[in-house]
Amino acid sequence: MKKLLILRLLILLVVGASLANLARGWWVNGHATLVEAAASALPDDMPEFFRKAGKALGHFVGDPDRWKNPSAKFLRAGTSADHFLDLEDVEGKDLPSDRYQAIELLQSIKKRPEKVGMLPYAIMENYERLACAFYDFRQDPENEAIRWKCLLHAGVMAHYTTDLCMPLHTTVNYDGMKPRD
C-alpha cells in the first residue's frame, strides 16, 4: 500500500512537471514551482504533513542546483553528471542496474561517464532514500526529524525527475550545437 503511495507520488511529480514545463523556466525557481504544484495535487491518503509541505519541498528541490556552487569542488564534481543522460552516447545499449555497472559499460565503449550523465541512477538512488525514510516514518510517525528527512529526500528526488521531463537533459544536443564526435 505504501509502495503504491510512493509510486503515485512519483507519477504526480513527473506529470506535474511535464505540464508546468510548458510554461515555465528552469533552475531553482522552476523546479520549486513544479514540485509545489505536484504536492498540492497529492491525494488524501498521502500523509498530511507531506501534502502540506509544498514550500519545504520547493526549497529542497533546488538543492542539486545549489550543489553546482564552484566553491564546492568535490560536491560539484561528484554530482554534476546526475542532472542529465545523453542517450545517443549510450548507443542503444540497455542501461545496467546500478551506477557503477553503468560506468563500467560506458568506459567499455570509450565514453566518459561524467560526460554521458547518470540521471536515471540519481532518480533511483534518491527514490530508495525516500522509501527508507518512509519506512522510518511508519515506525515513528510523530518523529519530526523523520518527517524532515522524508521531505529532504523527496525534494532531491523531485529535482531529478523534473530534470528528466526537460528533453534537453537527455540529448547530446542540449545546447543546440552540432553533436559531438
Let me know: does 69 contact 77? Beta carbons within 8 Å. Answer: no
The C-alpha atoms of residue 33 and residue 28 are separated, in whole angstroms, by 9
- Identify which of residues 79 and 173 has a Cβ nearer to Zn ion in the complex: 79
| Lookup result for grid cell 536515471 | 120
- Identify which of residues 89 and 163 has a Cβ nearer to Zn ion in the complex: 163
**Exposure on the CB side of residue 143, measured as CA atoms within 13 A:** 13
- Identify which of residues 17 and 105 has a Cβ nearer to Zn ion in the complex: 17
Cell numbers of 131, please? 522509501
**Alpha helices for 22-143 (secondary structure H):** 27-40, 48-51, 54-60, 63-66, 73-79, 99-108, 113-116, 119-139
- The phi-psi region of residue 45 (left if phi > 0; otherwise alpha if psi is between -120 and 50; otherwise beta) is alpha
Site for Zn ion in 79-98 (CB under 5 A): 83
Q: What is the closest distance, in whole angstroms, from the C-beta atom of residue 67 to Zn ion in the complex?
A: 10
Q: Does 163 bind Zn ion (CB under 5 A)?
A: yes
Binding segment (CB under 5 A) for Zn ion, from list 3-11, 103-111, 142-150, 161-169? 161-169
Q: Does 153 bind Zn ion (CB under 5 A)?
A: no
The distance in angstroms from the start CA to the end CA of the chain is: 48
Q: Which residue is nearest to Zn ion (CB)?
A: 83
- Identify which of residues 31 and 149 has a Cβ nearer to Zn ion in the complex: 31
Q: What is the closest distance, in whole angstroms, from the C-beta atom of residue 159 to Zn ion in the complex?
A: 6
Q: What is the closest distance, in whole angstroms, from the C-beta atom of residue 11 to Zn ion in the complex?
A: 20
- Identify which of residues 25 and 92 has a Cβ nearer to Zn ion in the complex: 25
Q: Does 126 bind Zn ion (CB under 5 A)?
A: no
Q: What is the closest distance, in whole angstroms, from the C-beta atom of residue 52 to Zn ion in the complex?
A: 25
Q: What is the closest distance, in whole angstroms, from the C-beta atom of residue 5 to Zn ion in the complex?
A: 25
Give the number of other Cβ atoms within 10 Å of residue 84's Cβ.
Answer: 23
- Which spans of this chain sit near Zn ion (rule: CB under 5 A)? 83, 163
